[in-house]
Structure 1
């Protein structure tokens, strides 16, 4: 990675940012951060749940020997950072930190990334719970951005297909339990998953992240039942990753 790119501001996505960044970005690359593990311990009443029935979304918990895989995005322009501050901090209840990102591509040097993370002091913190209870909660919750099931399953699918070396037992177990709940309750998976990322822009963005190449922003149709519509960003500012 050249010196010009390392001077840029990058953000690390480990949750919905993996499959739906929702903002215009420059380069992107798959990799990991150290000393953290992904956990569905953050409550959510603005995207994947409601005040009376909050969902659960991913955050990171410190663990000395832990590692979390995801995608780093190069932010371009002030609009991207403003969008993230609204989505992750104002609405999501996350705080910010800066950590070192290690690219999958060994020819690239590690570099600092912006990290959005929830802690026990976060206003929507849900904390640890038995995985079967978390799975039941996810199956029962939905919000303005769609069903909580969509959030979990699209993240699990992204990691399985795009980052197979980043196996996450917590995520994989939750996926298995949620799919079991869906079957037990005779729920319609298609309805729970919503419309999903749009094509063909989604496929191009996913390929860019996997190959560490730069993509030019493409116009994209807004989905009216998601956060990307409620923010009122122009369609050309929106980007998705295919899962």
Structure 2
């Protein structure tokens, strides 16, 4: 039995579980957005941080990494770990994963991905869309058990650039956060 998991946020740079293979690629029909509140890792209940989730978006692609996990023991360990780590994400989807932009056939089908839905009844931490400035201000202020929210954003930006992805939403937010930080230091 083999399980594949798609990472589009912190899983890109920090898997936290054993895996047999790591592929760089993308999924179709989604875009990465900083719409999920984090009260357990990058913020608190009082000052939620913002982390990424996926939003359905026709014609868009979301780059990230897919991890191959084989063996019943490694699979169970990874699932147990992910269920705790991703507990604020209320949905799992199984998607096709591509490694080549022009490919018509996926490299791997049935890749599991965690998604934080916009349904406030199921996902009480969903923050939703806001201006880049508003999101950036929240990111600058928030800090949780896993560290400052800005570190999450900057690590995501770096990890995406390392895999050859220039995600406009992430890069614009990182630029805005740096602007706010530099202005506060004046």
Q: TM-score, normalised by structure 2?
A: 0.89
Q: In structure 1, how many angstroms separate the alpha carbons of the residues matched to 2:156 and 2:84?
A: 21
- Offset of residue 104 of structure 1: 4.1
Does residue 1:36 correspond to 2:36, yes or no? no
- Match in the other structure for 1:151: 152
Moved more, 110-119 or 143-152: 110-119
- Match in the other structure for 1:175: 174
Query: Is the 1:93–1:123 Cα contact (8 Å) retained in structure 2?
Result: no
Secondary structure class of the residue paired with 2:47: coil
- Match in the other structure for 2:44: 50
- Match in the other structure for 1:141: 142
- Offset of residue 25 of structure 1: 1.2
Q: In structure 1, how many angstroms separate the alpha carbons of the residues matched to 2:124 and 2:3?
A: 27
Query: Is the 2:37–2:50 Cα contact (8 Å) retained in structure 1?
Result: yes
- Match in the other structure for 1:24: 18
- Match in the other structure for 1:84: 82
Task: Number of aligned residue pairs: give it.
Answer: 177
Q: In structure 2, how many angstroms separate the alpha carbons of the residues matched to 1:36 and 1:108?
A: 15
Q: Which runs of 4+ in 1 moved over 6 A?
A: 105-108
List alignment gaps of at least 5 residues for structure 1: 1-6, 188-243
Would the alpha carbon gap of residues 149 and 31 (structure 1) be closer, same or farther in structure 2, given more than 3 Å must change? Answer: same
Q: TM-score, normalised by structure 1?
A: 0.69
More helix by share: 1
- Offset of residue 94 of structure 1: 3.4
List alignment gaps of at least 5 residues for structure 2: none
Secondary structure class of the residue paired with 1:70: strand
Q: In structure 1, how many angstroms separate the alpha carbons of the residues matched to 2:184 and 2:100?
A: 40
More strand by share: 2
Q: In structure 1, how many angstroms separate the alpha carbons of the residues matched to 2:17 and 2:107?
A: 25
Q: In structure 1, how many angstroms separate the alpha carbons of the residues matched to 2:6 and 2:108?
A: 13
